[in-house]
Chain A
Amino acid sequence: MHSLTLLYKALLRLYPQDCRAWCAREMRDAFQRAAEEHRVLGRAALVRFGLAELSGLLVEAGAAWIAKVTSSRYMRGFWIPTTMRRPGQSPEDWCPPGARVLSDVLEAQKRVDFHLRHMMDAISDHDFKRARFHSEEDLRARNQ
């Protein structure tokens, strides 16, 4: 494996664990393909690409940590990373019963937040038809 890819892989560890579980593999694959493409363009192009990617990775890893610490929505969505379903794994194989209930609650909470947010936006825009729609959806989500 190329040293740039190894460095990239090492820097991916700077991300919070839940982020890594979500997309580290995909990021690495996309990076490898882009790196292969730049490699044929010459050393200068590869160095420029590498610098942009690695600095972008550092910035985004910092941003992910800030989001993790400051955003309650983030915490709600990701606070038990071990319950995240792997690609290709069916929901039945994935969740232990307790975690399933927790996951449903988190999902319902997410829907409630979503409709509440959009209802407030609609009211501030004086779009009462849209506000009513989100209000009804909010009620439905709460009753589920």
Chain B
Amino acid sequence: MRHVEQQPEASGRPLTESVLLILLSLADKPRHGYALMKDIETLSAGRVRMTTGTLYGALRRLVEDDWIERFDQEDTSREKQAYRLTSVGRRQMAAELNRMKQLTRAAAARLRGSEACIP
């Protein structure tokens, strides 16, 4: 869960887990920083807990790369600034999920094959 410098612009390469979790967390609705931290913890079943430093470092780089955007929230909650996915970010997330699906299918097929070979 470290620095993700350069990762967002590396189109076609696998994303780091932290970047993928941020994108997934923003997939259904915009969130502010603290809500992102909580949702990422939930999404990863408590396995990943991002510190504020790591989270905002990743958010800044994703904003710079136009994968997400920051906007002023209308409501009166404590955090005024929230983040949402851009179309570029959504495409990158979909591409990453497709890559993972392909990998899972290949792994499942390989495992089935190896089980069939066991006498």
Given the contacts A27-B33, A33-B34, A56 and B5 also touching, CB distance less than 8 Å: no
| Contact for A30 among B3, B9, B79, B80, CB less than 8 A | B79
Interface centre among A59, A60, A71 (most CB of B within 10 A): A60
| From A19, A23, A29, contact of B34 by CB (8 A) | A29
Q: Tell me the residues in window 52-108 of chain B with beta carbons closer than 8 Å to chain A beta carbons.
A: 52-57, 59-60, 64-66, 72, 78-81
CB nearest to A8 among chain B residues: B52
Determine which of A34, A60, A77 lies in contact with B37 in the assembled complex, contact meaning CB atoms within 8 Å.
A34
Q: Which residues of B contact A67 (CB under 8 A)?
A: 5
| Chain B residues, CB < 8 A from A27 | 33, 52-53, 56
Q: How many residues of B contact A (CB 8 A)?
A: 28
| A136 in the interface (beta carbon within 8 A) | no
CA distance A32 to B53 in the complex (A): 13
Which residue of the partner chain, among B5, B33, B53, contacts A29 with CB atoms under 8 Å?
A: B33
Instruction: Assess whether A57 is interfacial by the CB under 8 Å rule.
Output: yes
A99-114 to B contact mask, C-beta < 8 Å, 1/0? 0000000000000001
Q: Give the residues in chain A near B5, CB-CB below 8 Å.
A: 63, 67, 71
Question: Nearest Cβ in chain B — how far from A99, in angstroms?
Answer: 19
Is A125 at the interface (CB under 8 A from chain B)?
yes
Query: If the complex has contacts A22-B60, A23-B60, A88-B80, are A30 and B55 also in contact, measured as CB distance less than 8 A?
Result: yes
Complex contacts, A31 vs chain B, CB 8 Å: 52
B11 on the interface (CB 8 Å rule)?
Answer: yes
Contacts of B81 in A (CB 8 A): 26, 87
Q: Is the CB of B60 within 8 A of A53?
A: no
A126 CA to B54 CA, complexed, in Å: 35
The answer to whether A121 and B72 have CB atoms under 8 Å apart is no
Q: Tell me which residues across on chain A come within 8 A of B32, comparing CB atoms.
A: 26, 30
Confirm or deny: B16 has a beta carbon within 8 angstroms of a beta carbon on chain A.
Answer: no
Whether the pair B12, A56 counts as a contact (CB closer than 8 A) is no
Residues of A within 8 A of B (CB): 19, 22-23, 26-27, 29-31, 33-34, 52-53, 56-61, 63-64, 67, 71, 73-74, 77, 87-88, 114, 117-118, 121, 124-125
Q: Which 7 A-B pairs have the closest CB atoms?
A: A56-B51, A60-B53, A56-B53, A30-B33, A57-B53, A30-B34, A63-B3
